[in-house]
Chain A
Amino acid sequence: AVEDIDWDALTVRGTCQEIEKRYLRLTSAPDPSTVRPEEILEKALLMVQNSQKNYLYKCDQLKSIRQDLIVQRTRNHLTVKHNFTANQVYEAHARFALEVGDLPEYNQCQSQLKILYAEGIKGCHMEFAAYNLLCVIMHSNNNRDLLSSMSRLSAEAKKDQAVQHALAVRAAVTSGNYVLFFRLYKTAPNLNSCLMDLYVEKMRYKAVSCMSRSYRPQVPVSYIAQVLGFSNGVLTNEGSDEKESDGLEDCVDWLKAHGACLVVDSNGEMQLDAKASSSTIYMPDPEDAVAHGDSSLAVNDFLTRTS
């Protein structure tokens, strides 16, 4: 990442006035006329945030802004006059990354934000504390990481709404409480739901495994669709019939894709045959499985590498 290069010896004062600038990775001292000063970078950030273009464009522009910041060592410099901090750039980039599910980019920004927050530049630190907690839950089976993340939360953080939501999600995941999980999904603040998205498949599978073993003889698919977040509408007059039936269809498709046994009862309603399903449901291999960068941090890999 741009942030890993030692820029100490290369500090410059930029003079470039271009608001839009593509990212070109620097490996040596840059020409000051190609680097944008802070006032221009502020405008550039605003431009990106208001842009209608796609994520790849925004990501590229933001990387370029980040590089110009680092090169001028303005990362640590708070300009009260412009109320512009490096925080905003990383926070903006992190949010865009979350929205499209670009986790490696999100993690990069989150690492930088941790450093900035620790230096006292607060920004939206609560919002990101919640994301951080959700990441730990969703991504590692490691109890130690989870415990240390939870114990590091300040008393102030625990009162924050987004953090409380994340903690509630944590409790739901740990106890396998699928009803609570999908309720929390619907009421997720900020971009918490983007991170919960990473766990939805697993949670649904756990829920249906549980249901197959515990219910007899049947469970209405409409009920499953409702508690497992397939139906978008809540039981209000807001929900149109179309939305409800879409949710039902999605649920049926999902159940079939996971080997569930479905029957139609005497009233014409779709039911899950619990007993039969308990021996036929399975988790299919994801077709587009790509090795996640962070898997290299798995403990077992680490141990085999050091032995």
Chain B
Amino acid sequence: MAYPSMGEAHRRITDYLNKFCDAVSYQDVASLAQLFSFSSNSPSLLSLADALNFFQDANRLIKQSDKFSQFGEILAPLFRSLQSYRLGNLVEAYHAFEKFANAFIQEFRNWESAWALEALYVIAYEIRVLAERADRELSSNGKSPEKLKGAGSFLMKVFGVLALGTVHLCRSVIRSIETARIFDFEEFPRRDKVTYMYYTGRLEVFNENFPAADHKLSYALTHCNPLREANIRMILKYLIPVKLSLGILPKTCLLEKYNLLEYNDVVKALKRGDLRLLRHALQEHEDQFLRSGVYLVLEKLELQVYQRLVKKIYFIQKQKDPSKAHQLKLEVIVKALKWLEMDMDLDEVECIMTILIYKNLVKGYFAHKSKVVVLSKQDPFPKLNGKPVNS
């Protein structure tokens, strides 16, 4: 490590400070981003680090001038981080870099436009690399490696960090993005918008907010480059269960085109009112549906399948005797289910009927004494029409 002279160190530091301030004034994101790409190990950054370690009191320099001190909160931790980085103290380097990154994003929010977005990308990259290296240092000292998880909380402030699997923590990110006055969503590159809507749409699926999930995933689908078939497939994988929950069924050719045939039997079951087929489909692809997180959504389609079955029974009865069609005997429904190899007794089927009525999938009431479902004469099986089942 070649230490510079005091004067040389002073010069290097003030040079850097000027570069930083100029980059901000001229909104020169390329120059700005270079100033904190530690992982590039550029000679200028390394020689700055040496200067800082030698000079020791860079804070004084920052405070000396108004031009520099306005960015004090950002620059001081950045310098500390660079110093530690140069000395090989990765854990210290990470901590300081995290402080720098948080301070930077505060400042970013105050700027009129998202001109510094590229710089933010670079910071996100650098923080991750530093976190990984810090974790390695921790592991080799027998401590638990948790810096990468910490880096996640910064990354969440920029986008959703679903890659780290911390789905439920995304809410704070989304909140800050959606309420920040300078984040005009439309200003972001299209690719980012699609990604953002895809991930937030998936979150809505987890929380079973189907109208919101539909809106976001549909946006992602319509704005996604049609040539990117793999991406379209990813979006559809989540959009299809959402649409099914809203009573909208995909065509088989769509499932075939994007290789989503695991949903084929589910769609068939809904069309036919075949509960056995739905249960079979869920079992056959259980691992896949559990991993992707759509299992519970698909399972809830059971009620719509029951609705379809009861509707069919109603139509058959109507043909035989229209005057009595609006009264469905419980034992007839039990028989139909037995025919589908669903062995359920009167009490259980009665329970299902009450749930269907409660959730407005069947309009009417249940007469316990006579064990009959009395259907409303008007629209006894309301369609969902893009609205989710009442919870």
User: Which A residues form the contact surface with B (CB < 8 A)?
Assistant: 142-144, 146-147, 150-151, 171, 174-180, 209-211, 213-216, 218-220, 223, 227, 299, 302-303, 306-307
Contact across chains for A214 and B296 when beta carbons are under 8 A apart: no
Q: Which residues of A contact B374 (CB under 8 A)?
A: 216
Stretch at the interface among B93-101, B252-260, B324-332, B360-368: B360-368
Contact across chains for A211 and B296 when beta carbons are under 8 A apart: no
Given A211-B354, A215-B354, A215-B365, A147-B348 contact (CB < 8 Å): no
B239 to chain A, nearest CB (A): 18
Question: How far does the alpha carbon of A174 sit from the alpha carbon of B300 in the complex, in Å?
Answer: 8
Chain B residue with the shortest CB-CB distance to A211:
B354
Given A177-B352, A180-B348, A307-B172, A147-B358 contact (CB < 8 Å): no
Given A144-B167, A176-B355, A303-B295 contact (CB < 8 Å): no
Cβ contact of B296, chosen from A146, A213, A215, cutoff 8 A = A146
Does B15 interact with chain A (Cβ within 8 Å)?
Answer: no
- 22 A-B pairs with C-beta separation under 8 A: A143-B293, A144-B167, A144-B206, A147-B290, A147-B296, A150-B290, A151-B287, A174-B299, A174-B300, A175-B303, A176-B355, A179-B347, A179-B351, A180-B348, A213-B358, A214-B353, A223-B368, A227-B347, A303-B169, A306-B153, A306-B169, A306-B172
Q: Which residues of B contact A177 (CB under 8 A)?
A: 348, 351-352, 355
Contact across chains for A216 and B367 when beta carbons are under 8 A apart: yes
Please report which residues of chain B, range 149-192, place their CB below 8 angstroms from some CB of chain A when the two chains form the complex.
Answer: 153, 167-169, 171-172
Given A150-B295, A174-B296, A215-B368 contact (CB < 8 Å): yes
Q: Which residues of A contact B295 (CB under 8 A)?
A: 147, 150
Chain A residue with the shortest CB-CB distance to B156:
A306
Listed from nearest, the 6 A-B pairs whose CB atoms lie closest are A151-B290, A214-B354, A216-B365, A214-B357, A179-B351, A210-B358
Contact across chains for B366 and A215 when beta carbons are under 8 A apart: yes
Question: How far does the alpha carbon of A167 sit from the alpha carbon of B299 in the complex, in Å?
Answer: 13
Does B41 interact with chain A (Cβ within 8 Å)?
Answer: no
Q: Which residues of A contact B168 (CB under 8 A)?
A: 142, 144, 299
7 more contacts with CB within 8 A, not counting A177-B355, A216-B365, are A143-B207, A144-B206, A174-B296, A177-B351, A179-B351, A211-B354, A218-B368
B162 to chain A, nearest CB (A): 12
Main SS class of interface, A? helix
Question: How far does the alpha carbon of A177 sit from the alpha carbon of B367 in the complex, in Å?
Answer: 19
Q: Which residues of A contact B350 (CB under 8 A)?
A: 179
Does B126 interact with chain A (Cβ within 8 Å)?
Answer: no
Cβ contact of A175, chosen from B153, B287, B293, B355, cutoff 8 A = B355
Q: Which residues of A contact B302 (CB under 8 A)?
A: 175
User: Which B residues form the contact surface with A (CB < 8 A)?
Assistant: 153, 167-169, 171-172, 206-208, 287, 290-291, 293, 295-296, 299-300, 302-303, 347-348, 350-355, 357-358, 365-368, 374
Question: How far does the alpha carbon of A246 sit from the alpha carbon of B391 in the complex, in Å?
Answer: 34
Q: Which residues of A contact B169 (CB under 8 A)?
A: 302-303, 306
Chain A residue with the shortest CB-CB distance to B391:
A176
A203 to chain B, nearest CB (A): 12
Contact across chains for A214 and B299 when beta carbons are under 8 A apart: no
Q: Which residues of B contact A147 (CB under 8 A)?
A: 290, 293, 295-296
Cβ contact of A210, chosen from B206, B354, B367, cutoff 8 A = B354
Given A144-B167, A306-B172, A214-B348 contact (CB < 8 Å): no
Question: How far does the alpha carbon of A146 sit from the alpha carbon of B206 in the complex, in Å?
Answer: 11
Contact across chains for A214 and B358 when beta carbons are under 8 A apart: yes
A115 to chain B, nearest CB (A): 14
Main SS class of interface, B? helix
Q: Which residues of A contact B365 (CB under 8 A)?
A: 214-216
B291 to chain A, nearest CB (A): 6
A293 to chain B, nearest CB (A): 20
A235 to chain B, nearest CB (A): 11
Contact across chains for B287 and A216 when beta carbons are under 8 A apart: no
Contact across chains for B355 and A210 when beta carbons are under 8 A apart: yes
Contact across chains for A144 and B355 when beta carbons are under 8 A apart: no
Chain A residue with the shortest CB-CB distance to B168:
A299
B300 to chain A, nearest CB (A): 7
B284 to chain A, nearest CB (A): 14
A254 to chain B, nearest CB (A): 18
Contact across chains for A303 and B355 when beta carbons are under 8 A apart: no
Q: Which residues of A contact B296 (CB under 8 A)?
A: 143, 146-147, 174
Q: Which residues of A contact B172 (CB under 8 A)?
A: 303, 306-307
Q: Which residues of A contact B303 (CB under 8 A)?
A: 175
Question: How far does the alpha carbon of A307 sit from the alpha carbon of B174 in the complex, in Å?
Answer: 13
B207 to chain A, nearest CB (A): 7
Question: How far does the alpha carbon of A218 sit from the alpha carbon of B368 in the complex, in Å?
Answer: 7
Most buried by A among B172, B299, B355, B367: B355
Contact across chains for A171 and B299 when beta carbons are under 8 A apart: yes
Chain A residue with the shortest CB-CB distance to B347:
A179
Q: Which residues of B contact A213 (CB under 8 A)?
A: 357-358
A76 to chain B, nearest CB (A): 17
B308 to chain A, nearest CB (A): 16
B330 to chain A, nearest CB (A): 13
B58 to chain A, nearest CB (A): 31
Most buried by B among A147, A171, A174, A213: A147
Question: How far does the alpha carbon of A307 sit from the alpha carbon of B171 in the complex, in Å?
Answer: 11
Q: Which residues of A contact B287 (CB under 8 A)?
A: 151
Question: How far does the alpha carbon of A214 sit from the alpha carbon of B363 in the complex, in Å?
Answer: 9
Question: How far does the alpha carbon of A147 sit from the alpha carbon of B294 in the complex, in Å?
Answer: 9
Contact across chains for B351 and A151 when beta carbons are under 8 A apart: no
Q: Which residues of A contact B290 (CB under 8 A)?
A: 147, 150-151
Contact across chains for A151 and B357 when beta carbons are under 8 A apart: no
Contact across chains for A216 and B366 when beta carbons are under 8 A apart: yes
B204 to chain A, nearest CB (A): 12
Cβ contact of A151, chosen from B167, B208, B291, B300, cutoff 8 A = B291
B326 to chain A, nearest CB (A): 14
Q: Which residues of B contact A180 (CB under 8 A)?
A: 348, 351
Question: How far does the alpha carbon of A216 sit from the alpha carbon of B364 in the complex, in Å?
Answer: 9
Q: Which residues of B contact A223 (CB under 8 A)?
A: 368
Chain B residue with the shortest CB-CB distance to A226:
B347
Q: Which residues of A contact B206 (CB under 8 A)?
A: 143-144
